[in-house]
Structures are given as structure tokens and as C-alpha cells.
Amino acid sequence: MITFEEAMTTVFRNAKPLPPALVRIEDAVGRTLLEDIRSGIDMPPFNKSAVDGYAARTADVKKGLPLRNVGLIQAGDTFKGKVGAAQCVKIMTGAPVPPGADTVVMVEDSSEADGFVKFTKQTAKGENVCLRGEDIKKGRLVMPRGTVLTISHIAALAAVGRGSVKTGALPKVSLVNTGGELVPPGEKLGKNCIYNSNGPMLSAMLKTDGITAAPVIVRDRVRSLHAAFSKALKSDIVLVSGGVSMGDFDLVPGILKNLGVKCLFHKVRVRPGKPMFFGVKGRTLVFGIPGNPVANFMAYLAYIRPAIRKLAGRADFAPDFRTGVCADKFAPRTPRRALVLSKVLAKTDYTLSGVTNNGSADILALAAANGFTMVKENGSINKKEKAKFITWL
């Protein structure tokens, strides 16, 4: 049986970046930039007033005599003419500073009467003027290829005139939840049935990575599974939950193989998620996750999200395991590598505590947790010792 690390490496090795996509900048948050963004313009593109006030010659303002107001310039307008000696032009924030003027006095530092303006404060040459290209010079690198775009990048892309950018593509994902016992939450629960936790949970997790996928429930019948998987295999990634263990109705691996999916591993020395199946068909990645929702959650963090990120062109796709200090003893009852649901608290360091675990299903423990603490094979970790963890909040 392969180790947790070997399983992750196998997934990452088989996840190959998809061809780039051109997307509108308002849709680009979360995506990886696949081109260097250089500015095609000077920013600002002209000498611009930084305040509402009067544009004039510095020498005239220094003299302290009233200046004749010869016009008004609004943002977006052009002043036809030039500011001459002993003249000024009323100017609004964002408007182009007219030729002749080399300073702008704030309206708060002035008084105007009968077409003449007096200033109560002097300004230096260039004061309150943003010079052409002061923020960004034409040709300057604004954002390097590889940047993972966040909400704070979009204004800069727009400012240099980019309506769309070349980014990594988001994979198409199909989501199949197997099991005759499953009912969508919100519907009436039949006899011997349980609600489908994995479908909505994985759908929500995919959304955090920018991907939309609706869960489909399929019963453990060869024909139904075969039909569902044939359709799902048209996607870049297929997520199947349930049906991968040793039960008489765990038909998933066999059917996937029949459909041409090459198995790369089936079982990993880790808890949760030991009977994990991973295979490929062409460029399609297929994850068969055991039914336990915590195993699905863990599989998403360890294998699926990194695969999505790698397909989407990200260099930092690997799961972000960090180091913290244990506030509890972690002694999982398994010889396998264990990922133990934990409460992670960030103080000056991270402290890791266990969460109350009430039995087999773990679903409430998951809801109370915000991380997994990792415990080595045949190991345990004492209070105050360091441990690796992964968090999602």
C-alpha cells in the first residue's frame, strides 16, 4: 500500500496544466496570470490635477497678487488655450493641467471675487500636479506571469487598459455520489436512507476554487454507474464518492476500469480515506473517494484542490502543510498515517487541539474543526510538541 506522500505525488504528476483561457478581468479572481502584463500607456496619461483648485504659474502665486480667472476645466475636458502671466484657470480634480500652468492651488486656500482670485497659501512648482507617467510608465511590468489574481489586482489591470487577460483555465469537474441510501438534503428521508453530505460539501468546496459542479446521486447498480461515469469522463476531473471499498456493492473501481480508466493507486496508508482510488483516462483525472464525508473533505484538500490548481496553471499547487504546537496529545488508534480533525488557533504560533469526536461518522467533529493535525505512522504527538497541520479557515 502506498504512503500518503506517494499518493499525493502520483496525483500531482498526472495533473498537467490545461491550455490557457482568455477571461474578462472581472471574472479573473482566483486564476493564474499566464502572461506578463506591461502597460501600453503612461498612467496618468497626461499631467493631472490632484485637487479642486486653480492652475497657475508658480511665480505669479508667489507674488501674492490676485490672478484673473480665465476659464474652468472639468475632468475629461481640454482647456483650449494657455495660462498666461497673472492668469489662472479653475480646475477640477482629475482634469488636465493646461499649458502654461505649473502648479495648482487648492480651492480651500483661495477666495474669488469679480473674476479675480486671491490665494491664502503659496504652492511650490509642481504641487498638486500628478505628472504624466508618474504612477506607471508606458512599457513597465505591472504584474508578472504566474501571479494568482486577487480582488486587489483588478483595478491595476483595468487602469492599464486590459479588459481581459490570459489565465490558466479552470477544469470541468463532474461530481457523482454513489449509494442507494442517499437522499438530497431538503427532501423527505426514506426508510434506511441518509442524506447526501458529500455532494453539497464537494460542490461548495469546488466553488471556493471557482468551479461549478452539481452533485448527481447514482445507485450501486452496474448499468446506472456505467452510464453516469461514461458521461462524467468527458470532464477534466471526475469525483466519485462511495463504492470503492471491499463491499459486495463497491462496484466503482471495476466499472471505471471497464470504461478505460487506468488505476494508478487504490488504497493509501492514511486515515481517513484508505480505500482511495485514483486513475486516469487520457488527460481526465478520476478520484474514487470512500463514502465517509471526512475522507472526502481530506481528499479534496490533499489531492483534488492541488490537482485543480495545477491544471489551472498554478506553480504553488501543493497542499499548504504548516507547523504548529500541539495543545493536546494526539494518539490516533491506527498504525497508518493519520490526519486528525483539529482546532487550529493562530496566536504568535499556531496551537493545535483535538476536537471531540463522537464515533464513526465524524461529521460533527468536522463541523467543529478548522484543520487536520498530521501524525506519523505508528506515532503519537505529546502536548507542547510540534506537528504538521493543514487548515482551511
Q: How many CB atoms lie within 10 A of CB 32?
A: 23
Report, in Å, the least distance between residue 178 CB and ligand AMP: 6
Report, in Å, the least distance between residue 236 CB and ligand AMP: 22
290 binds, among Mg ion, ligand AMP, none (CB under 5 to 8 A by kind): ligand AMP
Cα angle 318, 321, 323; round to 5: 155
- Nearest CA to 105 out of 63, 59, 58, 48 is that of 58
245 binds, among ligand AMP, Mg ion, none (CB under 5 to 8 A by kind): ligand AMP
One-letter amino acid identity for 166?
Answer: K
The helix (H) or strand (E) run that includes residue 229 is helix 222-232
224 binds, among Mg ion, ligand AMP, none (CB under 5 to 8 A by kind): none
Residue number with CB closer to Mg ion (243 or 324): 243
CA dist 209 and 170 (Å) reads 9
Residue number with CB closer to ligand AMP (152 or 192): 192
Contacts of 208 (CB under 8 A, 6+ apart): none
Report, in Å, the least distance between residue 265 CB and ligand AMP: 16
Report, in Å, the least distance between residue 275 CB and ligand AMP: 7
Q: Give the footprint of ligand AMP on this chain (CB under 6 A).
A: 177, 179, 181-182, 194, 196-199, 241-243, 245, 247, 250, 290-293
Residue number with CB closer to Mg ion (291 or 324): 291
Residue number with CB closer to Mg ion (168 or 288): 288
Q: What long-range pairs does 133-137 form, CB within 8 A, spacing at least 24?
A: 133/42, 133/43, 133/44, 134/43, 134/44, 135/43, 135/44, 135/159, 136/39, 136/41, 136/42, 136/43, 136/160, 137/39, 137/42
- Beta bridge partners, 129, equal 49
193 binds, among Mg ion, ligand AMP, none (CB under 5 to 8 A by kind): none
Report, in Å, the least distance between residue 231 CB and ligand AMP: 18
Q: How many CB atoms lie within 10 A of CB 197?
A: 21
DSSP symbol at 300:
I
Residue number with CB closer to Mg ion (44 or 243): 243
53 binds, among Mg ion, ligand AMP, none (CB under 5 to 8 A by kind): none
The region that residue 46 occupies, defined by phi over 0 for left and psi between -120 and 50 for alpha, beta otherwise, is beta
Residue number with CB closer to ligand AMP (196 or 342): 196
Cis peptide bond N-terminal to 319, omega within 30 = no
30 binds, among Mg ion, ligand AMP, none (CB under 5 to 8 A by kind): none
Q: Give the footprint of Mg ion on this chain (CB under 5 A).
A: 179, 242-243
Report, in Å, the least distance between residue 346 CB and ligand AMP: 31
Report, in Å, the least distance between residue 254 CB and ligand AMP: 14
